[in-house]
């Protein structure tokens, strides 16, 4: 599905050098207009996303019947953001994208339509009445970093983060409080980073399937800018994931040394 590596040219942030980001949960407010990003590999990532959406079915796109309203609201939010950016133009019932694609505004399939517009994977989480935690009720997940939508769909946050060792006890409670406290119009973001031996964006793995350790000279830094935003009408939380893959050889000596001395944040 992916004939060559799709890599950005530079770092989106340096979380290993920023005490605010290099811890859990390590969140910061999103600057005005920075909820979703468009970078230099937009065309390449979107071409891969289109192929995955066509070929992988519910491995990359799922929505529960109860999440339809939240998905429709998400599409409206994505459109409102995208149409402020260069290269996105609404033409009747179609959006022309920066890479020249024309995406029909199919409101019968709002999550898929949103996924075809932006680089971010989009995960919708809702907290059912009486539940202790938010659960994943819908998601477009074309660029999974060692997890599968099949295992996490309709599961609560603590189950979603299995088998992340750091996500226990106090951290789990803090993250749930963070989700509960999100206010419409005040999104937040965090950054995670791990070293991978394979630059592929589509890397699904079950909980039992361990990620192979990075070794040798072919190593890549995989970073995720994870946004969290509450939708005002449905109350759902949108967890957005913008994935960056950067060859370690492109990093400066100072960044490589600082990275090797740090503990990756997942």
Output 140 or 264, whichever has higher pLDDT.
140
Categorize the per-residue pLDDT at 124 as very low, low, confident or very high, splitting at 50, 70 and 90.
very high
Q: Between vectors from CA 129 to CA 125 and to CA 135, what angle results, nearest 5°?
A: 25
pLDDT in the model for residue 16: 87
Of the candidate ranges 38-42, 68-72, 84-88, 209-213, the one whose mean pLDDT is the lowest: 209-213
CA dihedral (63, 229, 76, 87) positive or negative: negative
Most confident of 165-169, 209-213, 215-219, 240-244: 240-244
Return the residue matching tokens 């932006």. Answer: 118
Strand, helix or coil for residue 95:
strand
Task: Please give, one letter per residue, the 3-state secondary structure of 13-78.
Answer: CCHHHCCCCCCCCCCEECCCCCCCCCCCCHHHHHHHHHHHHHHHHHHCEEECHHHHHHHHHHHHHH
Radius of gyration of the chain (CA): 18
Categorize the per-residue pLDDT at 116 as very low, low, confident or very high, splitting at 50, 70 and 90.
very high
Categorize the per-residue pLDDT at 2 as very low, low, confident or very high, splitting at 50, 70 and 90.
very low
Partners of 164 in the beta sheet? none
In the chain, what percentage of residues exceed pLDDT 70?
92
Distances (CA, A) of 184 to 134, 142, 179: 16, 26, 11
Mean local confidence (pLDDT), 141-147: 95
Identify which of 149, 151, 133, 155 has the alpha carbon closest to the alpha carbon of residue 62.
149
Taken as a whole, the chain contains a residue count of: 266
Partners of 244 in the beta sheet? 223
User: Tens of pLDDT along 178-188?
Assistant: 999 999 999 99
Identify whether the C-beta of residue 34 lies closer than 8 Å to the C-beta of residue 191: no
Strand, helix or coil for residue 91:
strand
User: Tens of pLDDT along 153-209?
Assistant: 999 888 887 765 555 567 778 888 999 999 999 999 999 999 999 999 999 999 888
Identify whether the C-beta of residue 251 lies closer than 8 Å to the C-beta of residue 259: yes
Give the Cβ contact number of residue 170 at 10 Å: 8
Identify whether the C-beta of residue 119 lies closer than 8 Å to the C-beta of residue 39: yes
CA distance 72 to 67: 9
Output 169 or 6, whichever has higher pLDDT.
6
**Non-local CB neighbours of 253 within 8 Å, separated by 6+ positions:** none
pLDDT in the model for residue 262: 80
Look at residue 27 and tell me whether its pLDDT is greater than 50: yes
Mean local confidence (pLDDT), 130-159: 93
pLDDT in the model for residue 212: 66
Distances (CA, A) of 234 to 78, 121, 125, 142, 199: 15, 20, 11, 24, 36
Look at residue 148 and tell me whether its pLDDT is greater than 70: yes
Strand, helix or coil for residue 87:
coil
């Amino acid at each position: 599905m992916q004939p060559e590596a799709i890599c950005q040219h530079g770092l989106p942030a340096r979380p290993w050098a920023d005490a605010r980001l290099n811890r859990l949960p390590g969140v910061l407010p999103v600057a005005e207009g920075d909820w979703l990003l468009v970078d230099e590999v937009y065309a390449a990532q979107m071409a891969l996303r289109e192929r995955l959406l066509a070929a992988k079915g519910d491995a990359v796109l799922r929505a529960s019947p109860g999440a339809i309203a939240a998905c429709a609201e998400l599409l409206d939010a994505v459109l409102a953001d995208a149409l402020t950016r260069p290269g996105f133009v609404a033409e009747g019932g179609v959006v022309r994208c920066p890479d020249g694609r024309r995406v029909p505004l199919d409101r019968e399939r709002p999550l898929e339509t949103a996924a075809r517009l932006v680089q971010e994977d989009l995960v919708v989480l809702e907290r059912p009445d009486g539940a202790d935690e938010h659960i994943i009720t819908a998601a477009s997940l074309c660029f999974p970093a060692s997890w599968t939508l099949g295992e996490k769909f309709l599961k609560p946050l603590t189950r979603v983060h299995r088998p992340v060792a750091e996500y226990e006890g106090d951290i789990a409670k803090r993250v749930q409080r963070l989700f509960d406290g999100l206010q419409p119009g005040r999104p937040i973001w965090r950054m995670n980073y791990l070293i991978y031996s394979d630059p592929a964006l589509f890397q699904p793995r079950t909980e039992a399937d361990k990620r192979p350790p990075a070794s040798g000279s072919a190593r890549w830094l995989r970073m995720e800018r994870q946004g969290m935003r509450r939708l005002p009408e449905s109350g759902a939380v949108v967890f957005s994931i913008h994935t960056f893959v950067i060859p370690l050889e492109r990093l400066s000596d100072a960044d490589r040394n600082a990275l090797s001395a740090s503990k990756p944040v997942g």
